[in-house]
Amino acid sequence: MTEKTDGESLEKAFETWSKGVESKLGKNPERKKAFLNTSDIPIHRLYTPVHTQDLDYLTALGFPGSYPFTRGVQPTMYRGRYWTMRQYAGFGTAEESNKRYKFLLEQGQTGLSVAFDLPTQIGYDSDHEMAMGEVGKVGVAISSLQDMETLFDGIPLDQVSTSMTINSPAAILLAMYLAVAEKQGVSPEQLRGTIQNDILKEYSSRGTYIFPPKPSMRIVTDIFAFCSDKVPQWNSISISGYHIREAGSTAVQEVAFTLANGIAYVEAALQAGLDVDAFGPRISFFFNAHTDFFEEIAKYRAARRLWAKIMKERFKAKDPRSMMIRFHTQTAGCTLTAQQPKNNIVRVAFQALAAVLGGTQSLHTNSMDEALCLPSEEAVQIALRSQQIIAYETGVSDTVDPLGGSYYLEDLTRQIFDRAEAYIKKIDDMGGSAAAIEKGFIQREIQESAYRYQQEIEKGERVVVGLNRFQVQEEKPKNLLRVNPAVRLAQIEKLKKMKSERDQALVNGALAELKRAAEGRDNLMMPILQAVKAYATLGEICDTLREVFGEYRQIDTLGR
């Protein structure tokens, strides 16, 4: 047996090798002077044990299912069960979306993910003036419990898990879901799913806010309290880096701003008197899967390690489940091109693979046509099949964290961890995430990264295949999926009929009760549930809250 090389000799050997290579660079130059990823982290020519020798395995990586969860949140990961394949879908009316959900379930999808239209997300009924032109466009229009009953018609809620991308009116949509379940004879304890309920990133990145931050944070913590008491299997928040990244952030910023928002939610819940281990295990996350393959895998691992540390050391959580980042991933919509759209299938497949190698709990793969329109059924099917091919054919899910121990990946994981932690420190010094958003800091940081990214593309420093290299003359695809404008009229008719049939006195009473609760300090979930069951509309409930809480106005972060 040969003797093992010690660290010092290895460093020397590495240095000798590097010098040898560099001496020949004049003749055989590398493609670029400096190699950087999106987070501006320099990428070295080669990674060796030299780069990871001061990394302590047990404290930095540990075992899957154990602190600090770098290698995954479950001990067996995909050897036990594959990630949940969950395609975000919804458009037009509740009837149409219901059909799409049933199609997806028949195709082997294992969870639902509801996209709501913008009026629903911003608390307007389909007949509101502000809803003109938007009804049913980016998601399904839900104005009352009646629409929700149609949306889940024939879908047994005790057998699916449902994710709902809803933030400002999250309490109302959750209440509607509970009410539909009750009508199906399913109790709240049996329900599994997620509401996004992440208002902070709405102010910084996504834009579907209604109320100012303070009352919004109260609604968030009211939901935490209600769920940990009554809907124990429900994820009461999905803290989302996805939209921060889509708005243009780097991978490091995605981790930093998302976890900083997470800190703000935990602090708000603690201030509201909740116990960290009562709601901690029900916090979930949502990340992007962008194109830089290793940077993305490292990002998920770094985020897991960092959140675990924050929950354990900063918030003194005791329950290991409070320290775990369980997360959903969606591939990056912003990387899809309208040019040669079929290339997007390949982009999505690589991004999805990164998410799987990063240990995601659920995954949405984008459809190839999303830079053009809403996804067609065929495009959605290919997107889902891409996940199934990764799961069933590639073998990457047969061992836990298969890339763990890669010198490159471990170094990158540490770099992202360190840089994100430093960012969070900076945000702490500004008074936390809410204050940093109020000052426009987060928005400006994201904007600057987005602008830099675009400039890199325009200068040709960043190649996007089919866009700034390898272009072709092509016909734009025709017969794109469109939402029938009659959807709005149908919705208005339906609303009118529903309002004429409901018990108006019951509605008025419920809304008055909600107003009293909003003016006081009672948990808002119960009065919202009562109002929903009385068929008060989403718009009426939000208007009642607008009266008490007021509305948020965006600050200008563009001025120079």
Alpha-carbon gap, residue 173 to 182, rounded angstroms: 14
Nearest one of 349, 308, 313 to 332, comparing CA atoms: 349
State in angstroms the smallest separation of the CB of 522 from other proteins: 30
Alpha-carbon gap, residue 69 to 54, rounded angstroms: 19
**What's the number of CA atoms in the CB half-sphere (13 Å) around residue 473?**
0
Kindly give, in sequence order, each residue whose CB lies less than 8 Å from that of residue 340, ignoring residues fewer than 6 positions away: 465, 466, 472, 474
Q: 247 vs 510, which CB is nearer to other proteins?
A: 247
| Residues engaged in binding other proteins (CB under 8 A) | 118-119, 121-122, 124, 130-134, 137-138, 202, 206-208, 246-248, 334, 336-339, 371-374, 447, 450-451, 454, 458, 464, 467, 476, 478, 480, 482-483, 485, 553-554, 556, 558, 560
Q: 504 vs 554, which CB is nearer to other proteins?
A: 554
Q: 128 vs 326, which CB is nearer to other proteins?
A: 128
Kindly give, in sequence order, each residue whose CB lies less than 8 Å from that of residue 262, ignoring residues fewer than 6 positions away: 239, 283, 285, 307, 310
Cβ atoms of 277 and 317 within 8 Å: the answer is: yes
State in angstroms the smallest separation of the CB of 131 from other proteins: 8
State in angstroms the smallest separation of the CB of 465 from other proteins: 12
Alpha-carbon gap, residue 320 to 186, rounded angstroms: 29
What are the strands of the beta sheet with 112-114, ordered from one edge?
88-89, 112-114, 161-164, 192-195, 234-235
Q: 10 vs 490, which CB is nearer to other proteins?
A: 490
State in angstroms the smallest separation of the CB of 444 from other proteins: 10
State in angstroms the smallest separation of the CB of 21 from other proteins: 37
Q: 33 vs 478, which CB is nearer to other proteins?
A: 478
Q: 389 vs 480, which CB is nearer to other proteins?
A: 480
Can you read off the two tokens belonging to residue 179?
Answer: 């009410």
Q: 247 vs 534, which CB is nearer to other proteins?
A: 247
State in angstroms the smallest separation of the CB of 437 from other proteins: 14
- In terms of DSSP bridges, do strands 88-89 and 362-364 run parallel, antiparallel, or are they unpaired? unpaired
State in angstroms the smallest separation of the CB of 369 from other proteins: 10
Buried b / exposed e along 47-70 (16+ C-beta atoms within 10 A):
bbebbbeebeeeebbbebbbbbbb
State in angstroms the smallest separation of the CB of 181 from other proteins: 29
The gap between the terminal CA atoms of the chain, to the nearest Å, is: 66
Q: 85 vs 251, which CB is nearer to other proteins?
A: 251
Nearest one of 284, 280, 275 to 325, comparing CA atoms: 284
Return the SS3 of 165.
coil
Residue with tokens 């009929």: 497
State in angstroms the smallest separation of the CB of 390 from other proteins: 26
The three-state DSSP-derived secondary structure of 398-441 is CCCCCCCCCHHHHHHHHHHHHHHHHHHHHHHHCCCHHHHHHCCH
State in angstroms the smallest separation of the CB of 286 from other proteins: 16
Nearest one of 203, 256, 359 to 39, comparing CA atoms: 256
Q: Where are the alpha helices (DSSP H) in 164-237?
A: 170-184, 200-201, 213-230
State in angstroms the smallest separation of the CB of 173 from other proteins: 17
State in angstroms the smallest separation of the CB of 281 from other proteins: 30
Cβ atoms of 111 and 363 within 8 Å: the answer is: no
Kindly give, in sequence order, each residue whose CB lies less than 8 Å from that of residue 526, ignoring residues fewer than 6 positions away: 226, 517
